[in-house]
Structure 1
Amino acid sequence: MAIERHVERLIRYGLQKELISYLDIEYTRNRLYEALHITHPEVSEQKENVSAASLSDLLAPIYEWAAETGRIAADTDTYRDLLSAKIMGCFAPQPSEIVRRFEETKAVHGPEQATKAFYRFSEDVYYIRSDRIKRNVGWTAETAYGKLDITINLSKPEKDPKAIAAAKEQPQSDYPRCVLCKENVGYEGRPDHPARQNLRVIPVILGDEQWFLQFSPYVYYREHCIVLKDRHEPMKISKKTFDRLLSFVSQYPHYFLGSNADLPIVGGSILSHDHFQGGNYEFPMARAETESRYRLPDYPKTVLGIVKWPMSVIRLQSESASELSGAADAILRAWRGYSDEAADLLACSGETPHNTITPIARRRNGLFELDLVLRNNRASDEHPLGIFHPHQEVHHLKKENIGLIEVMGLAILPGRLEQEMKYTAEALCSPDPEAVLTADLSASKHKDWALSVLHKRKVTKENAEQILKEEIGHAFARILEHAGVFKQTEEGRAAFRRFIRHLGALPEKSPIP
């Protein structure tokens, strides 16, 4: 099929998804020709049926043609992504038009319908890579803390050696300064920076500041959004953070919104640009119950609870967003300077701070709710990657930072585990599991853990993979326990209560003086 026929199929797709109208056909066709460097097209009047074709199927032959004709440097994920963003940018209206539609939908049908329509648009223009997201492997695992969500991440493309080499040859650029900056909207990209011609963002006022809402291209849960500051400023957890979070959930009560912590090890992967993550999803931590409840004398309308969770979580609830923010700030300030050597907890080493908080805001039953997850990033000789970080015993499954999403109970495990777990399951059913696991480089890292599973459970060919999934869930619960500053022991619970008393909190039934 000639390339012009593939262009016509894309135009039919754009019409079906209502990205363009019939009045836009010639304009869009010419923009596609320009994007693909087609200077002498042979246009056919034949209409192309695309009803059974996905967007990825429509783009696949164009990638192949582009590689064969030198339109892209190599037929790799990096260069296909650069091309697909350029192509689908031809279907994306001007940013002001998208904002106009969003605000109109919000005014008529409410914020939930507005975000849903914006999400669908982001999928239709292939900013959200739905075809790749479907590759992820996911399940739930029952643990002592309720059901946890487990995902093996297969959606993000692997590092492209050709693109890495090409990037080294290019002049270094700090535009955009990072992948979160607002300047990414419409940016053509380069081998070391993703293309964003199909990205659109929605302005959001938080307090008196300008922020923007967009979706993650590789969503981990329903309507996984990012809310980013209009300026490239580093993350900093403060009272302003709580005010911003509560302002957002006031405007979008169907969404939660949270922030990674602002220190290395316990923070997210991008600490240089202040941003939040949210979405229309209930995480396992949100379903967790509070074990004990307290009142803060200075904040009489706010209830404080200790959450039954492997990490150390204080849950605040109030009808008043302003009082809730004040209470959260008081806890943050107290936590920044709090040490408890009996719990191996030091607030700082010299001038280096260790204590911070991962906050998450939501609305529940008409109340404002803030979960404050206590974090500490100190390292030691025994735990050089972090005392409150996944320990060596679980590094065969995960050794990366525990960020906001995993704090809330959704494991994002490396893609290598898909094949490694299949091989491990086969090895456990072999006549000599230890020898088989030892002999394979990719599976040998799992040997001790896999053999411990074999000792405590009856593994067969029929149940091996399911048992490993369940045990990965249990291991994820241990990973979260490792990251918890107050451990799930009598000593740890007593240490947590000492901090609650340090705050001046009183049991809920006690009279507020």
Structure 2
Amino acid sequence: MTHISATIETLVNKAIEKDLIEASDAVYARNQILGILQLDNFMEGASLIKEASIPDLLEILSQNAVERHIIEDLLDEKEKIESLIMNVFLSKPSEVNRDFYQKYNQSPVMATDFFYQLSKDSNYIQTKRIAKNIQFQTASSYGDLDITINLSKPEKDPEQIKREREMKQDIAYPKCLLCAENEGYVGRIGHPARSNHRIIEVPLEGESWFLQYSPYVYYNEHSIVFAKDHRPMKINRDAFSRLTAFVEKFPHYFIGSNADLPIVGGSILSHDHYQAGNYTFAMTKAEEEFSFTLHSFPDVKAAVVKWPLSVIRLQHPNRTTLVEAADYILNNWRAYTDTEAHIHAFSDDVPHNTITPIARMRDNQFELDLVLRNNRQTEEHPMGLFHPHEDVHHIKKENIGLIEVMGLAVLPPRLKEELDAIKKHLLDDSENVADYHQNWVQSMKKGHSSITKENVEQIVETELGKKFERVLEDAGVFKTTADGRQAFRRFIDHLNA
């Protein structure tokens, strides 16, 4: 009992240090936690646990609950009780929103700084798990690409998976993981705990939208902006209006949307949402390859970006004008076919063309990057013609969504062990390497005459970056070759016809 009392007392003290509660709230918070853990007794005066973080303390408490048979030894059950404990230290949603907008009135940066820190301190953002991710940058023809091997999401054990299958029920609440109804939801098997979840209301163009941070942030202040209504994602004029309205409110953030078609879209197309944050991606820093004039919008600055995907960048000080220009390009692209470039707008009545848009403020002007996408499948490329091709599937075969489009690879966790095996194999041939990596390993051996303990990690990281560069080039509808650029100019001519 002494150890658990010390853990609770340390957690309460941590919450006071982080301004989640005040010192006068300590006894109340302690008693609430005792109730959640079904403990009647508490040993006062126990020594605090040094060098323990909030996630560490929560793990001790949830494991103790397992050992006392308060909860089952399942990931979802442990997350539920940890989320309930942290909710003890959090203000109600109305109070969090009030604090946010009091700070916003001083500075949008101050407001998002407050909410981001709150989301980390409350353990909603899983800082301990995120720290496990492998992250580095690697040079490419298009600038420094970000590489992340995603190790933050814990793997479900067989019992958890079995329980989820058994508990498949007709539960439609919340309708999905993005719905506003997740705020404060205790969770269940198969649906994550959200007791410590808070969202900020951010009205956009007369609609109710909300801001939250991703529990597993892939970049600084990785946030999700989502509609109150549970409705499918749609790229249209209204989307461009909302994106530019958001950066007008939060000029230090970018915001973008996944495309709205399968294969080229994101993982959740059922709920209208965007992703935002305070980070500068390689695509943002990419140079203009050539500029052009849009005859219908001569005062809008337009350029093609030097990037593996096909990007038109628009700039204008008036966001309404910019939105009109973007909508004009979208409508033309949706109907555009160029058989020489293998671009077909439709198969029968099934649409293939759409856009991944990204908005930001730059030099006091609104800026929109319009990434042209096409999801057509062929016999040779059944997963998608403008999708990572089969020879790079050993690295990445999932959808190329908004984050990858901008130059940040989110790669599967299997690569950690596989890359370690490749490094050992390159040094002394002693380690077995997965069959699907064999060609890649042989090309590394041929391309590097001297591989040593000192340079093997750099070599593998550089070669991984080259593979991701290829992934992005596969996703480009107009290739970066001379023929591809000529095809891009044909589309621009079409816009000006």
| TM-score, normalization by structure 1 | 0.94
| DSSP-derived class of the 1:371 partner | strand
Give per-residue Cα distances to partners, 1:240-289, cap 9 Å, x unaligned: 00000000000000000000000000000000000000100000000001
Q: Partners of 2:75 and 2:350 in 1: how far apart?
A: 41
Shift of 1:47: 6.0
Indicate the SS of the match to 1:358.
Answer: strand
Structure 1 position 269 matched with structure 2 position 267: yes
Aligned ranges for residues 200-239 of structure 1 at < 5 Å? 200-239=198-237
1:21 match: 22
1:51 CA displacement? 5.9
Distance 1:5 1:52 in 2: 13
Q: Does 1:62 align with 2:66?
A: no
Give me the whole-angstrom Cα distance separating, in 2, the residues matched to 1:135 and 1:308: 33
Query: What's the CA shift for 1:134?
Result: 0.8
Distance in 2, Cα, partners of 1:487 & 1:54? 48
Structure 2 contact 122–196 (Cα < 8 Å) conserved: yes
Partner of 2:72: 73
Q: CA deviation digits over 1:18-77, x for unaligned, max 9?
A: 111123223222221222122x22x23316535632112212221221111112211x43
Asked whether the 8 Å contact 1:164–1:191 carries over to 2, the reply is no
Equivalent residues in 2 for 1:5-404, closer than 5 Å? 5-38=6-39, 40-41=40-41, 43-46=42-45, 48-49=47-48, 52-74=51-73, 76-108=74-106, 110-170=107-167, 171-404=169-402
Assess if the C-alpha contact under 8 Å between 1:78 and 1:160 holds in 2: no
CA contact (8 A) 1:256 1:279 kept: yes
Could you say which residue in structure 1 is the equivalent of 2:469? Answer: 477
Query: Following the alignment from structure 1 to structure 2, what is the Cα–Cα distance between the partners of residues 113 and 371?
Result: 27
Partner residue of 1:447 out of 424, 429, 438: 438
> Which residue identity lines up with residue 6 of structure 1 in the other structure?
T
Which string of whole-angstrom CA distances, capped at 9 and with x for unpartnered residues, describes residues 92-119 of structure 1? 11001100110111112x0011101110
SS in 2 for 1:79: helix
Deviation at 1:167, TM superposition (A): 2.1
Tell me, yes or no, if the aligned pair for 2:6 and 2:48 is still in contact at 8 Å: no
Counterpart for residue 511 of structure 1 = none
Partner of 2:411: 413
Structure 1 SS opposite 2:467: helix
Looking at structure 2, the residues matched to 299 and 50 of structure 1 have their Cα atoms a distance apart, in angstroms, of: 64
Question: Aligned match of 2:487 in 492, 495, 506?
Answer: 495
Give the Cα–Cα distance (whole angstroms) in 2 for the partners of residues 282 and 257 of structure 1.
Answer: 11
| Cα deviation digits, residues 282-313 of structure 1 (max 9, x gap) | 00000001111112222232111000000000
In 1, distance between residues paired with 2:108 and 2:136?
Answer: 30
Distance 1:34 1:49 in 2: 21
- The whole-number CA distance in structure 2 between the counterparts of 1:348 and 1:160 is 43
Deviation at 1:404, TM superposition (A): 0.1
Query: CA offset at residue 464 of structure 1?
Result: 1.5
CA distance in structure 1 between the partners assigned to 2:298 and 2:33 by the alignment: 61
Q: Report if aligned partners of 1:301, 1:323 keep a CA contact under 8 Å in 2.
A: no
Aligned length: 494
Q: Distance in 1 between matches of 2:226 and 2:369?
A: 20
Partner of 1:486: 478
Report SS of the residue matched to 2:421: helix
Q: CA deviation at 1:157?
A: 1.2
Partners of 1:37 and 1:300 lie apart in 2 by 69
Structure 1, 221-230 or 1-10: larger mean CA deviation: 1-10
Give yes or no for contact 1:12–1:50 (8 Å, CA) kept in 2: no
| Preserved contact between residue 63 and residue 78 of structure 2 (Cα < 8 Å) | no
User: What is the CA–CA distance in structure 2 between the aligned matches of 1:359 and 1:246, rounded to whole Å?
Assistant: 11
- Which SS does the other structure have where 1:360 is aligned? strand
Contact 1:301 1:319 in 2 (8 A): no
Overall identity of the aligned pairs, in %: 50
CA 48–255 in structure 1, closer or farther in 2 if over 3 Å, else same: farther
> Deviation string for 1:359-385 (max 9, x for gaps)?
000000011000000000011111110
Instruction: Report if aligned partners of 2:7, 2:49 keep a CA contact under 8 Å in 1.
Output: no
Letter in 1 for 2:487: A
* C-alpha distance in structure 2 between counterparts of 1:239 and 1:183, whole Å: 27
Q: Residue 448 of structure 2 is aligned with which of 457, 464, 484?
A: 457
Structure 1: distance between partners of 2:33 and 2:410: 37
Q: Which range moved further: 143-152 or 2-11?
A: 2-11
What does residue 468 of structure 1 align with? 460
Question: Cα RMSD over matched residues?
Answer: 1.4
State how far apart, in whole Å, the 1-side matches of 2:94 and 2:141 are: 49
Contact 2:186-2:194 at 8 Å conserved across structures? yes
Instruction: Mark the CA change 1:48 to 1:329 in structure 2 (over 3 Å): closer, same or farther.
Output: farther
Question: Per-residue deviation at 1:79?
Answer: 2.9
